[in-house]
């Protein structure tokens, strides 16, 4: 099987797994315990936090380990909004955020917050004028992702951060789940966001790992209360082996990023070119987008049919995103970029990752041509 669904999840790197197993064997004590074994586990945990902080150029105290992207997004949006509600009641999100951002914002409507949506163009890039118009003095949180998971659109995040910081007292949270390890992610500095979300299982780490990085001066309320672990931000016995493994995955992903981006960009452009021969295929991803996500729509077909037909040929792809693939409704991203009705059900996504080769892409092309021949040309 050729796996082209790395944006849904990735296979853990053997070196990361080894780190995880070793940490489990030797450092299984509770890092909050006072005995020697606890102290050692805590030392290892601190070192992992420092390693991640070093890589994203922040202080270790600003890294909060979580269970992944969804938790980090919930924490950022709910935590920032609740802790800073004296600043305002408005939450601004883009129309193409991940469900964990959209639903977190929506849940806050029950607490009196107001959610507004920043529109995007046909490439999925936010309309800066719409952001400027909707960013008012009473905005408390702006959450706009770095790379969209369904079509790979890259947002102008430095410009967004500058606009937010110069024109409001709002905090800018950036979901970096699909960008970390794929394109450079800037955290600190004048035009960096105030909070970023990273998920481990998208960077060849284990499922159930991730972190939220926060700027120093940012006030946030915990959403998981209890024993006060993670500097009081997230209670619960800390999963030291997972977090040690995450630090390793973060390092590996960062080291490999430039070379991987070059490899994936080349393959993405090759696929964009390939799709041009099919008059009933519309490419949705762009050459300005993330290197690893290719998305297209086939007129008059359902994405699920294509996913199954390609699977039959040994190629694993997905409909627009793993999260929307089971509910058979048209994804909010496809709606937001205004795909023509005859194409909107036929969206598929190919996402590249570790181990992908030129031969795999050649096999994809052969399989896709065969499937198109079966379903469209007869
Ligand atoms: C952009 C984006 N944000 C958040 C998430 C959720 O991350 P997790 O699966 O770690 O909860 C995903 C998962 O697909 C994603 O693509």
CB neighbourhood size of 54 (10 A): 14
Q: Please give the Cα distance from 91 to 180 (Å, whole number).
A: 24
Options 218, 323, 330, 375, the catalytic residue: 323
User: Tell me, what CATH number does 155's domain have?
Assistant: 3.40.640.10
Residues 23 and 118 in one domain: yes
Q: Are residues 244 and 265 in the same domain?
A: no
DSSP element (H, E) containing 309: helix 303-312
Task: Return per-residue pLDDT of the chain as tens, 378 residues.
Answer: 999 999 999 999 999 999 999 999 999 999 999 999 999 999 999 999 999 999 999 999 899 999 999 999 999 999 999 999 999 999 999 999 999 999 999 999 999 999 999 999 999 999 999 999 999 999 999 999 999 999 999 999 999 999 999 999 999 999 999 999 999 999 987 789 999 999 999 999 999 999 999 998 899 999 999 999 999 999 999 999 999 999 999 999 999 999 999 999 999 999 999 999 999 999 999 999 999 999 999 999 999 999 999 999 999 999 976 555 555 679 999 999 999 999 999 999 999 999 999 999 999 999 999 999 998 765
Looking at residue 328, its pLDDT comes to: 62
> Which of 184, 219, 252 is at the close of a domain?
252
Tell me, yes or no, whether 90 and 187 share the same domain. Answer: yes
Among protein residues, the one with the nearest Cα to ligand 1's atom 7 is 69
Residue 376 lies in a domain: no
Reported in sequence order, the residue ranges of 38-126 that DSSP labels E, i.e. its strands, are 63-66, 90-94, 114-118
* Residue at 26 is within a domain: yes
Buried b (16+ CB within 10 A) or exposed e, 236-271: eebbbbbbbbbbbbbebbbebbeebbebbbebbeeb
* Per-residue pLDDT at 327: 58
378, part of any domain: no
Whether 116 is covered by a domain: the verdict is yes
Q: Are residues 184 and 37 in the same domain?
A: yes
Same domain, residue pair 210 and 185 = yes
Give yes or no: 323 in active site: yes
Atom number in ligand 1 closest to CA 72: 11
Q: Report the CATH number that the domain containing residue 350 is assigned in CATH.
A: 3.90.1150.10
Whether 377 is covered by a domain: the verdict is no
Statement to judge: residues 25 and 103 lie in one domain: yes
State whether the Cα torsion 176-182-183-189 is positive or negative.
positive
- C-alpha 47: how far from chain center: 25
State the pLDDT at residue 190. 75
Q: Which atom of ligand 1 lies nearest, measured to the CA of 71?
A: 11
Distance (Å, rounded) from C-alpha 130 to C-alpha 145? Answer: 16
Q: How far is the CA of 22 from the centre of ligand 1 (A)?
A: 27
194 found inside a domain: yes
Are both 234 and 117 inside the same structural domain?
A: yes
Closest CA to 246 of 197, 288, 298, 211: 211
- Which of 217, 252, 287 is the C-terminal boundary of a domain? 252
Domain that residue 358 falls in: 2-8+257-370
Q: Looking at ligand 1, which atom is closest to the CA of residue 201?
A: 10
Ligand 1 centroid, distance to 377 Cα (angstroms): 36
Report which protein residue has its CA nearest ligand 1's atom 5.
69
Examine the domain organization and report whether 271 and 188 are in the same domain. Answer: no
Residues with CB under 6 Å of ligand 1 are 68-70, 73, 98, 100, 145, 149, 175, 177-178, 199, 201, 210
Ligand 1 centre distance from Cα of residue 98 (Å): 7
Distance from residue 68's CA to the centre of ligand 1 (Å)? 8
Is 261 among the domain residues? yes
Q: Which atom of ligand 1 is nearest to the CA of 202?
A: 10
Alpha carbon nearest to ligand 1 atom 4, residue: 69
Question: Cα(280) to centroid of ligand 1, in Å?
Answer: 30
CA distance between the termini of the chain: 26
How many Å apart are CA 291 and CA 353, to the nearest integer?
Answer: 10
Residues 194 and 310 in one domain: no
The strand ranges marked E within 72-194 are 90-94, 114-118, 139-143, 171-175
Domain boundary among 252, 287, 304: 252
Spatial CB neighbours of 378, under 8 Å, sequence gap ≥ 6: none
Query: Residues 129, 277: one domain?
Result: no
In this structure, the residue with its CA closest to atom 16 of ligand 1 is 149
pLDDT, residue 326, reads 57
Question: Domain total for the chain?
Answer: 2
Element (H, E) at 159: helix 157-167
CA separation for the pair 310, 317 (Å, rounded): 7
Q: How far apart are CA 208 and CA 56, in angstroms?
A: 21
**Is the same domain home to 82 and 180?**
yes
| CB-CB neighbours of 137 under 10 Å | 11
Same domain? 266 vs 206:
no
């Amino acid at each position: 099987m050729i796996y082209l669904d790395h944006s849904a999840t990735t296979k853990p790197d053997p070196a990361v797994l080894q780190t995880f197993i070793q940490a489990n064997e030797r450092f299984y004590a509770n890092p909050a315990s006072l005995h020697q074994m606890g102290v050692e586990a805590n030392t290892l945990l601190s070192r992992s936090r420092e390693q991640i902080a070093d890589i994203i150029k922040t202080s270790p105290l600003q890294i909060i380990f979580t269970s992944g992207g969804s938790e980090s997004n919930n924490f950022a949006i709910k935590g920032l909004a609740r802790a800073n509600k004296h600043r305002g009641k408005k939450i601004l999100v883009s129309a193409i955020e991940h469900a964990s951002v959209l639903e977190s914002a929506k849940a806050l409507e029950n607490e009196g917050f107001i959610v507004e949506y920043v529109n995007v163009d046909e490439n999925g890039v936010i309309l800066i004028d719409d952001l400027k118009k909707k960013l008012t003095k009473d905005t408390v949180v702006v959450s706009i992702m770095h790379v969209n998971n369904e079509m790979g659109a890259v947002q102008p995040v430095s410009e967004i951060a500058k606009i937010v910081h110069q024109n409001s007292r709002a905090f800018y949270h950036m979901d970096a789940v699909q960008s970390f390890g794929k394109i450079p992610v800037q955290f600190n500095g004048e035009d960096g966001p105030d909070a970023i979300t990273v998920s481990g299982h998208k960077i060849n780490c284990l499922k159930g790992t991730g972190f939220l990085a926060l700027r120093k001066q940012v006030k946030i309320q915990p959403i998981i209360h209890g024993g006060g672990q993670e500097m009081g931000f997230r209670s619960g016995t800390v999963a030291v082996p997972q977090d040690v493994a995450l630090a390793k995955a973060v390092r590996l992903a960062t080291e490999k990023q430039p070379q991987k981006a070059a490899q994936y960009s080349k393959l993405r452009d090759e696929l964009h070119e390939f799709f041009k021969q099919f008059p009933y295929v519309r490419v949705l991803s762009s050459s300005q987008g993330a290197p690893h996500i290719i998305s297209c729509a086939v007129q008059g077909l359902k994405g699920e049919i294509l996913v199954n037909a390609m699977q039959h040929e040994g190629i694993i792809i997905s409909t627009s995103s793993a999260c929307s693939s089971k509910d058979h409704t048209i994804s909010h991203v496809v709606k937001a970029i205004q795909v023509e009705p005859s194409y909107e059900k036929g969206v598929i996504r190919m996402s590249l990752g570790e181990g992908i080769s030129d031969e795999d892409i050649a096999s994809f092309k052969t399989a896709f041509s065969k499937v198109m021949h079966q379903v469209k040309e007869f």
